Amino acid sequence: MKKDKTIRVSAPGRICLLGEHQDYFGLPVISAAINMRIRIEGFRNNHNYFEMELPDIGEKETINLSGDFLPQKERDYLRSSLRVLKRYGYRFSMGYNCVIESNIPIGKGVSSSSAMVVGWLKFLLTITDNPQKVTREGLAELAYEAEVKEFKEPGGMQDHYCSSLGGLLYIDCKKKTVASQLKTKLSGFVLGDSLVQKDTKGGLSRIKNNVNFAVEKVREVIKDFNLEKTELFKIKEVLKSLPEEPKLKLEATLMTRDLTQEAKKFIEQGIVDDEVFGKLLDRHHSALREGLQISTEKIERLIDAAKSAGALGCKINGSGGGGCFLAFAPGKENRVVEAIEKAGGKGYLVDIDKGVCIEGETDVASWY
């Protein structure tokens, strides 16, 4: 690709089917990239700076290439991405004029920020003075560094892997994250936006702190307690002695862990029974609502509306406390969208989609 041409990169948002709030504990998740995407378009400007335009949020940025790329504000992912790449030896001597636009709801649990970081890093790796082969997994790791580690935030790697690799994924989030494609065809999803912003950082920290506290207390009694392997029934008696919130959150975490494995086996059978899959989503949401306590009255009202219109299962999507939920409604998607909007939300039809790509390239994988 000639660098004097306009470069267009896009990266998807994601939905989490099973395993919400598991990745930052090193536990597996089942997630899917969706056809809501962020798009970055840029052309060389023959200067030593990036001129960035973000019309969705009404912002413009100028980033000098001779600087150290220190973030200028909270969650300054444009600079943190450059900072991470600079640390790995990538060089940038020519600036670009770029526009970043998206149809991913912002701050609603659909990973708009992770998609932006993945897309921006892909753009930067395309225009760098010293390009190197970077796998999709490698790109996801770079994005995690730029979005989470640079700002010392509590999130996991699910979003970055999903946006980079695309498709329907089972992601094992141990110290060495491994993602594998689930080949089963799933469709019929509706994203319901409560139109209420969520507090991602605060929500994640509260859950993480409470679960970690509960784990410490359980290990005082059961020395070999393992978050990944110990069965829930084995710690029931110990849980009774814990404060209510840590107890509920650890219990919900283990229930979600087990549901994720049950769903993986079910999906891998190849032919999905819609009714059974819907019930799995409902069971997961029950753990999120009752245990992690991340649902809201409005989301529950919207879920009731979606169910009345024919959705087979629903669950909150993302960190919770607002944002979006996922409805599974094969064959009744439009009715569910209409019901959500009548109840005061916003509905979107969503399909599982490919990962980050350079727009217009027929062989996406060849870029890696």
Tens digit of each residue's pLDDT (9 = 90 or more) over 259-280 = 999 999 999 998 899 999 999 9
Task: Give me the residue label for tokens 């001597």.
Answer: 93
Decide: 154 and 203 in contact? Cβ < 8 Å.
no
Domain boundaries, the chain: 7-182+353-367, 189-350
Confidence of residue 200 (pLDDT cuts 50, 70, 90): low
> What average pLDDT does the segment 156-175 reach?
95
Please give the full DSSP string across 67-105, using - where no structure is assigned.
S----SSTT-HHHHHHHHHHHTT----S-EEEEEEE-SP
Per-residue confidence (pLDDT) for residue 229, from 0 to 100: 96
> What average pLDDT does the segment 209-220 reach?
97
CATH of 189-350, one of 3.40.640.10, 3.30.70.890, 3.40.190.10, 1.10.10.60: 3.30.70.890
Assess whether pLDDT exceeds 50 at residue 297: yes
> What average pLDDT does the segment 308-329 reach?
95
Decide: 281 and 193 in contact? Cβ < 8 Å.
no
Residue 33 and residue 16: Cα distance in Å, rounded?
9
**Average pLDDT of the residues of the chain:** 93
Pick from 273, 348, 299, 337: which is nearest to 13 by CA?
348
pLDDT per residue over 124-144, tens digit each? 999 999 999 999 999 999 999
> What average pLDDT does the segment 22-49 reach?
96
Assess whether pLDDT exceeds 80 at residue 3: no
Confidence of residue 365 (pLDDT cuts 50, 70, 90): very low
* Residue 102 phi, psi dihedral angles, 5° rounding: -155, 150
Same fold flag, 7-182+353-367 and 189-350: no
Whole-number percent of the chain with pLDDT over 70: 95
Decide: 340 and 306 in contact? Cβ < 8 Å.
yes
Assess whether pLDDT exceeds 90 at residue 338: yes
Per-residue confidence (pLDDT) for residue 4, from 0 to 100: 61
Q: How far is CA 50 from CA 44, 69, 131, 350, in A?
A: 9, 12, 18, 33
Residue 260 and residue 134: Cα distance in Å, rounded?
30
Residue 86 and residue 98: Cα distance in Å, rounded?
19
Per-residue confidence (pLDDT) for residue 253, from 0 to 100: 98
DSSP 157: S
Per-residue confidence (pLDDT) for residue 1, from 0 to 100: 40
Confidence of residue 353 (pLDDT cuts 50, 70, 90): very high
Confidence of residue 201 (pLDDT cuts 50, 70, 90): low
Per-residue confidence (pLDDT) for residue 72, from 0 to 100: 87
Vertex 284: Cα angle to 280 and 289 (nearest 5): 145
Per-residue confidence (pLDDT) for residue 362, from 0 to 100: 41
Span of 86-95, 172-181, 185-194, 331-340 with lowest mean pLDDT: 172-181
CATH of 7-182+353-367, one of 3.40.50.300, 3.90.480.20, 3.30.465.10, 3.30.230.10: 3.30.230.10
Strands 313-317 and 324-328: antiparallel
Per-residue confidence (pLDDT) for residue 74, from 0 to 100: 86
Confidence of residue 361 (pLDDT cuts 50, 70, 90): low
